[in-house]
Structure 1
């Protein structure tokens, strides 16, 4: 079954023209098949630049200047499992490597100072100066609560939602800057939570630059109803129960 799903991912046809200005390729981080699907999409898309959630601007610049340093830049980022991401880098061709990871100090600062203050003068452009509608805020807090195995008080999820909004805005800004610098199409490699069209990176781009077209593809293990422009299902990865370390005392 796993081999069949993998072959289906690799046999997917090229994306139909015209291609959007920015294509967001979502992922399940620990799923090797999702990354093979992203690699195939990058190969078909032939982007001018690829924005990575996992690398800071400095780490990406080192990797972009010397492609022999990609693995070292990845290790410096602290992100695991480089071998399952390697096919994406092998598919880049001449595309520039762009980093969009926010430094850890900035992420910590969101909790104390707020997303808008950390983001800077363009915060309003990406909607960070406004509170979310109550129903969306509660829905997003519930998603974070469930994702963290109900192991922390529900009210603390507000800070995690603020961090998610901040990161979505940072990724969107990096993609728009890459689009301006290198031209279309630009690809973004990020988790499926960032790729969703209702409030993730595509929504941030639509708010900040409505003239820019986007297309979001979710590489998912099942269709859970999260909105994307396109869904591609991959085999479920084998993994331990992620809640064990959070709920065991």
Structure 2
């Protein structure tokens, strides 16, 4: 299902006092019937974040799961901390950890200030363990239930590797692709695990703020929930950018997807070209998230 909705939200996001950008009523109505709601994004698109803030305000979740935060980061968050934007950004060590401008994300915190917050970011030590010992070992005791102890079907593995390569401007050595897909699978499983924990502990609804790739029903975090807790009602929203094809950044399967204008960006492939003069496709690294 595709719901056209093109808006510019940057002015709103630069000022904490403005109202979140409204979202299509059809999306709100369908999301309201779910226990876990995945809100996909392109990480640097302000309109996507404004929609997430609008949905968070409409759904009034009891819990929010963040791809961008570790469990330790999220445990610090209180309504009083959210009320102080500078203090919240500092406490979360946001800028140092490499995520896009906090101004785009802060309205989501404001819209869900009464919720309990959970982090699902993959810590560096756990990522290192995944590279050395495998994703099943890194994930731990529930790896089998989440399907991390076995290889993907060949077609899916190939499709995932192709997306990783395209997202990195066709500049990656072939040997890097399979490990990158493994880390992506681990991140998907961690998001699902955190969402189910949040649902158990708060009763829901739970909103998950994450990249489009993790919000896919066919192989993202929703697929893990369908595997380990099929009784849980899940809604996933993908957010594409106007003019993208089905192989673009928002490619995948969602209950609904909405369009937005793409923000102005530098050429994401320029850094790869400086290292490798071979021709590359133009893609944004966020596509693989």
TM tier, smaller: over 0.9
Please say if 1:16 is aligned against 2:29. Answer: yes
In the TM superposition, residue 98 of structure 1 has moved relative to its aligned partner by 1.0
Q: 1:62 aligns with which of 72, 76, 79?
A: 76
**1:108–1:214 Cα change, 3 Å:** same
Question: When the two structures are superposed, what TM-score results if normalisation uses the length of structure 1?
Answer: 0.93
> How many residue pairs end up in the alignment?
246
Please say if 1:153 is aligned against 2:173. Answer: yes
Match of 2:15 in 1: none
Q: How does 1:182-193 map to 2 (within 5 A)?
A: 182-193=202-213
Q: How does 1:159-238 map to 2 (within 5 A)?
A: 159-222=179-242, 224=246, 225-238=251-264
Match of 2:121 in 1: 101
Look up the SS of the partner of 2:257 in the other structure.
strand
Are the aligned partners of 1:26 and 1:192 in contact in 2 as well (CA < 8 Å)? yes
In the TM superposition, residue 179 of structure 1 has moved relative to its aligned partner by 0.1
Pairwise CA RMSD: 1.9
Match of 1:5 in 2: 7
Once residues 245 and 190 of structure 1 are traced to their aligned partners in structure 2, the CA distance between those partners, rounded to angstroms, is 25
Are the aligned partners of 1:40 and 1:91 in contact in 2 as well (CA < 8 Å)? yes
Q: 1:73 aligns with which of 91, 107, 114?
A: 91
Structure 1 or 2: more helix by fraction: 1
In the TM superposition, residue 226 of structure 1 has moved relative to its aligned partner by 1.8
Question: When the two structures are superposed, what TM-score results if normalisation uses the length of structure 2?
Answer: 0.80
**1:118–1:5 Cα change, 3 Å:** same
**1:4–1:174 Cα change, 3 Å:** closer
In the TM superposition, residue 93 of structure 1 has moved relative to its aligned partner by 3.5
Q: 2:110 aligns with which of 63, 73, 90?
A: 90
